[in-house]
Amino acid sequence: MENQEKLEPILATVHTLLRSEGADDAAAIVREYPAQAELTGHDNWNGGTDIWEIQFKIPAPEFARLGVRRSQIEEQITARLRIILEHETQNWYSATLVPAKEFRADWRSDKSELSKSVRQNILDGLRLDNVNWYGQLDDIEFLGRLYDLQKLPSTDNRYKDAAGDIYQHRFNNNDWENDWVYKDSRFQLVDGSAEQFLRFLCETVHPVVRPIRDEALKLVLHYNDQLRVSGWELFEEELIAGRPRFAFRPLYNNSARAVLRAKTVAEALNAGWMAKEIERLENAVERDPALAIGTAKELVETCCKSILTKREIPFTKTDDLGDLTKKVAKALQLVPEGISETAKGAENIKMILRNLTQLTSNLAQLRGLYGTGHGRDGQHRGLQPRHARLAVASAVAFIDFVSETYRYRESMSGGEASK
């Protein structure tokens, strides 16, 4: 396959086959991302066979998001390549997903780790609520805690440093607006490093700057709602005179491990129809908690239906989550029966399973009761990512347990399989 022109009709046919057979994710990879053929080896057996690798270059974030599904997608594309080419050539073809190389001039800095839009939203929120960023201090006292104002230049040629012109324009003339610092290039709040901006936010809620605890916490909620999108959060690091002092840290996706486990369960069950729920979970936990909570419930339902289908146990459209879990529990004999010594433990297991499924069901119902925004008073009225993480963790705990039990039962032979 010497050139791209020969590759394109093959890829088009692969795409058609994948779409026709329901492998939509693999079909989307073939259609959306550039591919090139690389000659990776040669085998002299049987007259000579060239070994080709069709490499699909995936943007790094998407490549990472696919996770363990990459190998499944590669296998699906490879199988169709071989169907198309096996009658035309002795050569061997396989598909590989690779991360596309990317380069940003500022990749070694952390400027790109906190977007300009997120920073602007935070500052706009302070403007809208008329929040004095300097709190109980004045401008110079506040900024002096973060910057050496004597080493920063003056924007007024009558003064030698930032301290001088700030004093002149904020105290003597008072001709600068309260939000002047947001736009001042010396402090680079919008265009500087993420660390610089986050340090500024932490200082606005420092106990010395804002000693009233509720006021500080209200601001932290506002900050975190915006920062979460870019993977950061403010957290309470310590107490000073009974008041929280906040620091910042990367917000590692606490649901990532649970979502990865869910993918493993889906693959173990060979339940491709769970993939859509898992993808929605992965994308929604931080950005759309209500959607993630509802999807967690759907994931439990889908897992139950998958196991019941494999066991050839009928269920109907009217069966709710409780009905499905009861059927799965009975089919897999999740609770030991006939052993009187374990009666108490059996009841505990039943309660745990019941609580796990009920938890996701109850959380899903919250979507209809609460919005996802803020009131003008700044009090959060929507579901938050911590609620979503609770639902996701509960759902994954359940599907992990029942799927492992299912595999155990299936591995047993003969009469033992029903014990």
Dihedral sign computed on CA atoms, order 61, 66, 71, 77 = negative
Predicted pLDDT at 79: 92
Give yes or no for a contact between 356 and 366, defined as CB atoms under 8 angstroms apart.
no
Predicted pLDDT at 376: 36
Instruction: Kindly list the domain boundaries of the chain, sorted by start residue.
Output: 4-99, 111-250, 256-418
- Tokens 């979502």 correspond to 259
Q: What percentage of the chain reaches a pLDDT higher than 90?
A: 29
Topology of domain 4-99 in CATH is: GMP Synthetase; Chain A, domain 3 (3.30.300)
Amino acid at 378: G
Measure the CA–CA gap between 109 and 199, rounded to whole angstroms. 16
What pTM was estimated for this model as a whole?
Answer: 0.44
How large is the average pLDDT for residues 397-401? 82
Residue 12 or 400, more confident = 12
How large is the average pLDDT for residues 325-343? 68
Query: Could you read off the pLDDT of 155-169 as tens digits, one per residue?
Result: 888 889 999 999 999
Distances from the Cα of 54 to the Cαs of 36, 97, 101, in angstroms?
6, 8, 17
Residues 6+ apart with CB under 8 A from 129: 378
Residue 302 or 47, more confident = 302
Query: Could you read off the pLDDT of 298-323 as tens digits, one per residue?
Result: 888 888 888 898 889 999 988 888 88
Give yes or no for a contact between 339 and 325, defined as CB atoms under 8 angstroms apart.
no
Query: Could you tell me which residues are beta bridge partners of residue 235?
Result: 247
Nearest CA to 401 among 345, 343, 352?
352
Q: Is 382 exposed, middle or buried (0-12, 13-18, 19+ CB in 10 A)?
A: middle
pLDDT of residue 71 exceeding 80? yes
Banded pLDDT at 120 (limits 50, 70, 90): very high
How large is the average pLDDT for residues 171-191? 92
Query: Could you read off the pLDDT of 222-278 as tens digits, one per residue?
Result: 898 888 777 788 888 888 998 989 998 876 555 555 665 666 666 666 555 576 667
Residue 327 or 231, more confident = 327
Mean pLDDT of all residues in the chain? 80
- Tokens 């009233």 correspond to 212
Measure the CA–CA gap between 305 and 324, rounded to whole angstroms. 7
Q: Which of 57-71, 142-156, 168-182 has the lowest mean pLDDT?
A: 57-71
Q: What is the CA radius of gyration of the chain?
A: 29
How large is the average pLDDT for residues 116-130? 93
Measured at the CA of 51, the angle between CA 49 and CA 53, to 5 degrees, comes to 160
Residue 372 or 381, more confident = 381
Measured at the CA of 54, the angle between CA 50 and CA 59, to 5 degrees, comes to 155
Predicted pLDDT at 419: 40
